[in-house]
Structure formats: C-alpha cells, structure tokens
Amino acid sequence: MLRILMMSGDPVAQLIARHPDKDPYSVYESIREKGVLVRGNIGAFATCDHELASAILRDSSRFGSFAIAKAKPIDTTVYDDNGERLIVPMDDSFLSMDPPDHTRLRRMVAPWFSPRAIRERTATIETMLEELLDDLAAQGEWDAVNDLAVRVPIRVISAFFGIGEEDFELFRRWGGIIGTSVDGIRTMGDLKTFRQMLIEMQEFFGDLIELRKREPGNDLVTFMVQAEPEGEPLSWHDMVATCGVLLGAGFETTVNLIGNCILTVLSDPDLRQQLIDSPELIPNAVEEVLRWDAPVQYLLRVTTEPVTIAGVDIPADSPVFVVVGGANRDPKVFGDNAQEFDLHRKNSREHLTFGDGIHLCVGAGLARIEAAATLRVLLRKFPDLHLADGAERRPTRVVRGMTSLPVRPGAGAVRA
C-alpha cells in the first residue's frame, strides 16, 4: 500500500517508506515545493518549514507526543508473560508526558545535564578518547562508527548509571533496536525483538534500582532512588522509564552525530585542515553537522483536537511529521546556501535537531561536548586520517547516519 502511494508521488508516503539509497533531502525539497504543510493520501501531514515546525513543537497541547507502542500498522502494546504491560521507555517516560508530570520528572534529571555538570565531564570524556584512540592506533584500518563512535556515548551513559563497560554489548544491542523501532514497528519479527528487549531492559534497570537502594553510589540512579520531588518518592515505573529513555534517547542519536561529524570532516580535506589548524572552530563544525546532516531527521506529533494551521485544516488524531532535517535547510532561515555545509555559518544553532518547546533535548549540551571532544582528539592524534572503502549507510529513516565507516591513517584519500 505504502509503496503504491509512494510510486504515485505521495510526499508523506515518500517520507516514511524505506528509501535507504535515496537522498532524503530531495524528498524534503519536494515537500517544501508542495507547500508549508502538506497532506498525504494516508491522512498524515508533513512540514519542512522551519517556522511552522518550531510552532508545532512548541504547541504541545494541540500537537501531542506520539507513542511508538501505538504506531500503526501493528498495535505494539507489549506485555510480559504474566500479562503485565511492559514499560516502553520512549512512551512511558517524561519524553512523552505532559505537564505537570513532565515538569516534575524533567526537573529531577536536569541538574545532571547543567552546563557545569557537563564541563566537569569533559575532561573524563577526553581522557577516555585518548585511551580509545591509542588502542586504535595499533590497528591499520578501523571503523569510526563501530570502534569509536558507539563507545563514547555508551561510556558516558554508563557513568550516569554508575556502571563500567561490562554491559557495553547489551546497551549497544538495545540502542540498535530502539534506533530502528522509532521508524515504526512493522512486522511481527520486529515486535518480538522489541518485546524481548523491553523484558531485558526492565529487568536490568529494576535490578540496578534495587542495588542502589542497598548500596548507594554517586550516580543518577542513586539520586532517583533517594529523590522525593514534591514530597513523594519516585515510582519504580518512573525510575525504570527514566533510565530507559536516557539510554534510548542518548545513545543512537549521539553515535550517529559523531559518525556524521567524522564522515563530513574526512570527506573534505580542506575542512579537515581548517579544523586541525583552528581547533576552536570544532564546535561550529559540530553545530553545522547537526543542522546539515541531522542524526534525527523527523519527529512525529498527533493532533489532540481539530487544528487549523498555515491555512490547512487538520482533523483530531492526525499524525503530523515535523521534518527537522528539512526545516534545518529552510532557505528562509539559512539562506540560499542552506543545502551546503558552511563552517562559518552564523546561525547554525537555529537548527531544530534537538527539538523545541518543553521536550527540547535535555542532553543537547552533552551530545555537543561528546562530538566536539571526539573530533578534537581524533584530529590531534590522526591528522592524516582518511576514509577507506566500505562505508555503509543505515537503512533507518528517523535516525540518519552510518552503520560502518572504515578509516585509515596515511595518504590516499578515498571519498565517500
């Protein structure tokens, strides 16, 4: 069905049907040409307009968060073997809540992401990168995504939970499943994998919460266990969902930001040289990658009531795709060269990659630091690093990035 609509030129179907080899930015431009807010034949709407995208994200009362578990075509509400509904972190955490619950839970984790808390983490992140890259230096060719990018956010998030690297493979597998599930769960096989992950994750965080009750540490889980926002302890359900969303929202997104940064920089020898000569420009480069090749390409909202916006009537319960990857290239905001990467762009930071409104990404500062630190240490240690053959793009549509990015030091650039 989706394929037929896609072939008929339906812009929304083209957006959500899998097109791993098709450049998504040309799809966004075709949506932009059709209007500020377009309606697809399947009753869903989409916008690539920066002003409208931002307005929709800030209007959380009329444009509610979308729950993965209710994603069509399969109702993916999932239960354990005793018939209890499993916690779906992206749906059951404050990411998908409205005030006042959203405010209460977000306020609790926010201090862990304050500029000061992040500054304090930077040195640890750089030391970890130095060690990682020293190990990789011994190998001739290595994979910038699988040997480097995945390791950075996993270590950072593990530190929030007060655990070491022992659960690396588990977190990596769960992160991969979540990164795919945000595209929508389409088959019974997807559903089975998703359910199994939820069972494992709930058990893992449940055990961790019990451990921190018995043996408090200096970590976010201990903090949650001891917290009493508004005089009430947090429920077990909220604690598990919060742990899950930090892993779910903070892992694949950051892996792909780091991968996209490395790909962009190594694809352009002049850019690479500018950043080696002037490392103070690295944060600009990260910001421009966030705009130009965002690791999260679109967000989904559902109207909570009939809405008329940008001259279009949207019925209640309609899905609205807020295409941040398209809004980030809106010429009205980013000028005639919006399609180009510009290291010196003055307003890169106006991108919507971290969302907008009450759900604006709480980990944005941390992700920026992780990506900038990776580029800084990478270019310092490997000033002659090049792309090697075999780069592969992820087939996912919401999360954009590489599954594999082979690199090698030394002469002889291979362009992606």
Which residues bind to ligand HEM, rule: CB under 6 A?
A: 65, 94-95, 106, 157, 245-246, 249-250, 253-254, 257, 295-296, 299, 353-355, 359, 361-363, 366-367
Residue placing its CB nearer to ligand HEM in the complex, 34 or 393? 393
Other beta carbons within 10 Å of 184? 18
- For ligand HEM, give the closer residue by CB, 303 or 408: 303
Can you tell me the distance from the alpha carbon of 112 to that of 223, in angstroms, rounded to the nearest whole number?
A: 10
Provide the pairing of β-strand 45-47 with 319-322.
parallel
Backbone angles phi, psi at 45, to 5 degrees: -120, 160
- Least distance CB 300 / ligand HEM (angstroms): 8
**Tell me, what amino acid is at 264?**
T
**Residue 412 CB, nearest approach to ligand HEM (Å):** 31
Residue 234 is classified by DSSP as: P
Name the residue number minimizing CB distance to ligand HEM. 363
Residue with smaller CB distance to ligand HEM, 27 or 247:
247
Q: Does an H or E element contain 261, and which?
A: helix 252-266
Closer Cβ to ligand HEM, 248 or 408, answer by number: 248
Nearer Cβ to ligand HEM, position 87 or 388?
87
Show the tokens assigned to 170.
């588990």
Q: How far is the CB of 359 from ligand HEM (least distance, A)?
A: 3
Q: How far is the CB of 10 from ligand HEM (least distance, A)?
A: 24
Closest contact distance (angstroms) between CB of 138 and ligand HEM is 29
Token readout for 376 is 């800084």
> 39: helix, coil or strand?
strand
DSSP 355-395: --GGG--TTHHHHHHHHHHHHHHHHHH-TTEEE-S--EE--
Residue closer to ligand HEM, measured from CB, 147 or 252: 252
Residue 64's φ and ψ, nearest 5 degrees, are -80, 165
For residue 328, the number of C-alpha atoms closer than 13 Å in the C-beta half-sphere is: 29
Residue 10 or 49: the one with the smaller Cβ distance to ligand HEM is: 49
CB of 367 to ligand HEM, least distance (A): 4
How many other C-beta atoms can be found within 10 angstroms of the C-beta atom of residue 32? 21
Cβ at position 242, least distance to ligand HEM in Å: 8
Minimum CB distance to ligand HEM smaller for 157 or for 388: 157
Are 177 and 197 spatial neighbours (Cβ–Cβ below 8 Å)?
yes
Adjacent-strand bridge partners of 393? 402
Q: Give 212 or 400: the residue with its C-beta nearer to ligand HEM.
A: 400
Pick the closer one to ligand HEM by CB: 257 or 385: 257
CB of 250 to ligand HEM, least distance (A): 3
Least CB distance to ligand HEM at residue 4 (A)? 29
Report the alpha-carbon distance of residue 129 to residue 230 in Å, rounded: 39
Inter-residue long-range contacts of 101-106, CB under 8 Å, 24+ positions, other chains counted? 102/358, 102/359, 103/358, 104/229, 104/230, 105/229, 105/234, 105/238, 105/242, 106/358, 106/362
Q: How far is the CB of 334 from ligand HEM (least distance, A)?
A: 18
